[in-house]
């Protein structure tokens, strides 16, 4: 049974409209990031890699972002795809696509320097990238910008990206508790879109640390 049989979700017992596990941009991106980051050239054939890349390019939203199935939501998906393309060394080849994604991230950054996105964005596209800042989503935004910054041909945009990254780092540093942890009120993990969401307690610890570590290397 293929995982694109959407009609199964219309069955009377189609619990949470989740009878299939369809392809998603974020999962596809994670696989490509692994292949590129670990230099697993033999893990996937070139044909498989090219098909995966074509799938991601076809899944880019008109706004420039990507959907996130397992993290809330477009900030998560966009971070994943940008990181994957960077890991594979595809910045120059897909700089137009990556540049649109970077611009979207910069434009939806909150005034406080963080990023946030409400779970409501799964039902309402007008809420894409909109919500109170959270440590995990801010970390995703920062990692996405680091991965895609080199795609910005316009140097004025590069300055804006660098400024956005610095502001997000400031947000993460200033919101860290005295005990070294970050607190997160909102749910940023996705169970089943539009049905229920998850709060992974380590999301707000793991992702900020990962993002800050990458930023330290980015500056060298």
Q: What is the pLDDT of residue 28?
A: 95
Q: What is the pLDDT of residue 208?
A: 98
Tokens standing for residue 71: 């993290």
Coil, strand or helix: which one is 25? Answer: helix
Q: What is the pLDDT of residue 1?
A: 38
This model's pTM is above 0.85: yes
User: Within 10 Å of residue 48's Cβ, how many Cβ atoms?
Assistant: 13
> 61 CB contacts (<8 Å, ≥6 apart)?
67, 74, 128
Averaged pLDDT, groups of 10, the chain, 220 residues long:
60 63 88 78 79 95 95 96 93 91 97 97 96 98 95 83 97 96 93 81 95 93
The domain 19-218 is placed in CATH, from the list 1.10.10.10, 1.10.8.100, 1.50.10.20, 1.10.3720.10, at: 1.50.10.20
């Amino acid at each position: 049974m293929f995982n694109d049989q959407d009609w199964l979700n219309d069955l009377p017992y189609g619990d949470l409209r989740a009878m299939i596990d369809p392809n998603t941009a974020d999962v596809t991106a994670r696989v490509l990031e692994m292949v590129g980051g670990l230099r697993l050239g033999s893990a996937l054939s070139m044909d498989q890699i090219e098909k995966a890349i074509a799938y991601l390019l076809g899944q880019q939203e008109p706004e420039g972002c990507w959907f996130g199935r397992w993290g809330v939501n477009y900030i998560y998906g966009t971070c994943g795809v940008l990181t994957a393309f960077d890991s594979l060394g595809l910045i120059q080849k897909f700089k137009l696509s990556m540049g649109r994604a970077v611009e979207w991230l910069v434009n939806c950054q909150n005034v406080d320097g963080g990023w946030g996105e409400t779970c409501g964005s799964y039902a309402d596209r007008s809420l894409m990238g909109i919500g109170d800042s959270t440590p995990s989503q801010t970390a995703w935004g920062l990692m996405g910008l680091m991965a895609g910054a080199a795609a910005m041909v316009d140097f004025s945009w590069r300055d804006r990206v660098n400024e956005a990254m610095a502001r997000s780092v400031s947000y993460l540093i200033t919101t860290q508790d005295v005990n070294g942890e970050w607190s997160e009120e909102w749910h940023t993990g996705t169970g089943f879109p539009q049905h229920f969401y998850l709060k992974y307690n380590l999301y707000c610890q793991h992702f900020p640390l990962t993002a800050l570590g990458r930023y330290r290397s980015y500056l060298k």
